[in-house]
Amino acid sequence: MKHAALILSLAVVGASLTACNKDNSDKTLGQQVDQSVQESKDKMAEAQQKAEAAGDKMKQEASEASDKMKEQANAAGKVLDDTAITASVRAKIVAEPDLSNMDVKVDTKEGVVTLDGKAKSADAKDRATLVARSVDGVKDVNNNLSVQ
C-alpha cells in the first residue's frame, strides 16, 4: 500500500512538472525532479547571498552610527572640558591678589584659552597668562588683555 502511494505521489509530481514546464518534455521525470531540486538550491543560495549582503550592510550602517555617536560624545566631552577649564582659569584669576579686581573675559576652545579685557599693568597681563597656563588641560593661551 505504501508503494502505491509513493508511485501515485511521484506520478502527480511528474504530471505537475510536465504541465508546468513543457520545455522539458524530452527529459525524464527523474531529470525534471533533479532540475527542480537544483533550481531550488540555486534560488536558496541566491536568497542566502542577498540576506548576507543585507546583514553586511546593516553591520556597516550600525558601525557608522556608532562612530558618529562616539564623535558626538567626544565633541560634548570637549565642550565640558572647555567649560571646566574656563571656570578654573576664572577662579584662579579671581584668587590672585594682583588680578582679582581686573575685568577679564575668559573663553576656551579645544583647550586654548583666550583672555580679553584690561590689565592694570604689563606685569598683571603676564601674570594672567601664567595663571591661565597653570590650569590642567590648557594647551595654549592667547592673551589679548590691553594694558591701561
Question: Which of 99, 89, 104 minimizes the C-alpha distance to 136?
Answer: 89
User: pLDDT digit string (tens) for 101-147?
Assistant: 888 999 999 899 999 999 999 999 999 999 999 999 899 999 999 99
In a domain, 10, yes or no: no
Residues 6+ apart with CB under 8 A from 114: 106, 107, 108, 141, 142, 144
Sequence letter at residue 2:
K
In a domain, 33, yes or no: no
Please state the three-class secondary structure of 33-73 as a single string: HHHHHHHHHHHHHHHHHHHHHHHHHHHHHHHHHHHHHHHHH
Residue 148, pLDDT score: 83
In a domain, 30, yes or no: no
Residue 71, all three cell numbers: 564623535
Domain of 62: which CATH number? Answer: 3.30.70
In a domain, 101, yes or no: yes
In a domain, 22, yes or no: no
In a domain, 99, yes or no: yes
CB 113 within 8 A of CB 141: yes
Q: Check pLDDT > 80 for residue 22.
A: no
Put simply, whether the predicted model's pTM sits higher than 0.75 gets the answer: no
User: pLDDT digit string (tens) for 41-85?
Assistant: 888 888 888 888 888 888 888 888 888 888 887 777 666 688 999
Number of domains composing the chain = 1
Domain, as residue range, for 119 = 48-148
In a domain, 1, yes or no: no
In a domain, 18, yes or no: no
